[in-house]
Structure 1
Amino acid sequence: MEWMRQLFEQYGDFVLFAGLFLESLAVPFPGELAMAFGGYMSSLGKMPIFQVMILSYLGAIIGTTLTYVLGAKLGAPFFEKYGRYMLMHPKRINKIRRWMERYGSGVVLVSHFIPGFRHFTGYVSGITGFRFRTFLLFNHAGAVVWVACYVLLGRWLGKRMEDVMHMLEKFGPWAVFGIAVLLLAFVLIKRAWQASREQARQAQDQPGS
């Protein structure tokens, strides 16, 4: 926790924007820890909570939008050749591609919560030609929830933040993955329910029904 405190003391709230932006580009940075610590700092009155949220949100959104543009402009051949230098191995690209083909916008929505996915979903969305407006909509929605969860968690925990920071450092990715699975399940269940309602409505509208 001390190293995170030193980062904030040295660079101020710019850490949130720059850190989340770089993490979105697949540069290693503990985004969840930084947001939670920012929330903790707001509980001490050292940083306005809305400032913490907005800077985190902007860093994540600008970064992921840039990855979409890079994916669309550079295309699959570039990442097949050079992707390994940024941990975008063909297997990882194909895995995300299959998820997107199967679950569509739901993957973009929950990708912020899934370790190893949020850094690459934008690239793959651009590579595969996923509709830009749809990507923006669900990427924004997912980022809002993701940022709010961690910032509010840090603020709510207050003085207990030290213990939680240690827990997040140790178990964070698995906890986040669990949350993401629940969110994805919710999206899929909602879609199935809407589809069943539409089928029932169409059956009622058919002549002789």
Structure 2
Amino acid sequence: MGGLTGLVEHYGYLGLAVLVLVEGLGVPAPGETAIILAAGLAGHGRLNVIAIGVVAFTAAVTGDSIGYWIGRRGGRRLVLRFGHYVRLTEPRLAKMERFMTRRGPIVVAVARFVEGLRQLNGVVAGATGMRWRRFLAFNALGAALWVGAWTTGGYLVGDHIRMIRAALGRYEWYAVAALVVALAGWLLLHRVLRRR
């Protein structure tokens, strides 16, 4: 946290842009934390909160777009070549492709709020063949909501940012587990109703 604070404090908007952009490429960088910290600095008058929103939004959409093209150009081949290490076989990839065809836009918009999915969002969408315009529209929607939420939150909490981030970190996996259970329940219910 201290190194990240130093990076954002020292480089300002550039440090923020790099961290958010790199995260969109599939690298587990702390883009979300960078937005919160930069917005906290804006709360103290050291940065401009509107500029933070614009920079973070642009970096998020650009990073995911690059990730999309990486997935589009070589992602499927790489998944088929190395996917067996994480139990991602060709039949499972085919299921994922069908799911992304039906529900892809919602996944792209919501994935921005889920750690792990946020980093692979663009690569998976590209590898599964989602249309570029559709990906771009829903990725921009998700990025706008995500950047808006964390920029506003970071700006409003100011000095209490470290305490709040630590508290969020303790409960993040519970929220992810609850989301997975809710999604699985919804899919099961949808399947049962469809069979009837």
TM-score past 0.5 threshold: yes
Corresponding residue for residue 60 of structure 1: 60
Superposition deviation, residue 176 in structure 1: 6.8
Q: Return the index of the structure with the highest Cα Rg.
A: 1
Superposition deviation, residue 128 in structure 1: 2.1
- Aligned residues: CA RMSD: 3.1
Residue of structure 2 aligned with 1:90, choices 67, 79, 88: 88
Superposition deviation, residue 165 in structure 1: 2.3
Corresponding residue for residue 50 of structure 2: 50
Would you say the 8 A contact 1:68–1:125 is kept in 2?
yes
Corresponding residue for residue 193 of structure 2: none
* Residues 1-209 of structure 1 aligned to structure 2 (within 5 Å): 1-82=1-82, 90=88, 94=93, 97=97, 99-172=99-172, 174-175=174-175
Would you say the 8 A contact 1:80–1:89 is kept in 2?
no
The 1:26–1:177 alpha-carbon spacing in structure 2 relative to 1, beyond 3 Å, is farther
Would you say the 8 A contact 1:113–1:177 is kept in 2?
no
The 1:99–1:38 alpha-carbon spacing in structure 2 relative to 1, beyond 3 Å, is farther
Counterparts of 1:156 and 1:79, CA distance in 2: 42
Q: One-letter code of the match for 2:36?
A: A
Counterparts of 1:4 and 1:171, CA distance in 2: 21
Gaps in structure 1 of 5+ consecutive residues: 193-209
Q: One-letter code of the match for 1:157?
A: V
Superposition deviation, residue 162 in structure 1: 2.4
Q: One-letter code of the match for 2:5?
A: R
Counterparts of 2:57 and 2:113, CA distance in 1: 14
Counterparts of 2:82 and 2:43, CA distance in 1: 43
Q: One-letter code of the match for 1:76?
A: R
Q: One-letter code of the match for 2:118?
A: R
Superposition deviation, residue 24 in structure 1: 0.9
Q: One-letter code of the match for 1:19?
A: L
Counterparts of 1:59 and 1:88, CA distance in 2: 29
Would you say the 8 A contact 2:24–2:121 is kept in 1?
no
Would you say the 8 A contact 1:40–1:154 is kept in 2?
yes
Superposition deviation, residue 16 in structure 1: 1.1
Gaps in structure 2 of 5+ consecutive residues: 191-196
The 1:177–1:53 alpha-carbon spacing in structure 2 relative to 1, beyond 3 Å, is farther
- Structure 1 window deviating more from structure 2 (167-176 vs 37-46): it is 167-176
Percent identity reads: 30
Would you say the 8 A contact 2:8–2:37 is kept in 1?
no
Would you say the 8 A contact 2:26–2:67 is kept in 1?
no
The 1:176–1:20 alpha-carbon spacing in structure 2 relative to 1, beyond 3 Å, is farther
Tell me the TM-score normalised to structure 2 length. Answer: 0.78
Instruction: Report the count of equivalent residues.
Output: 182
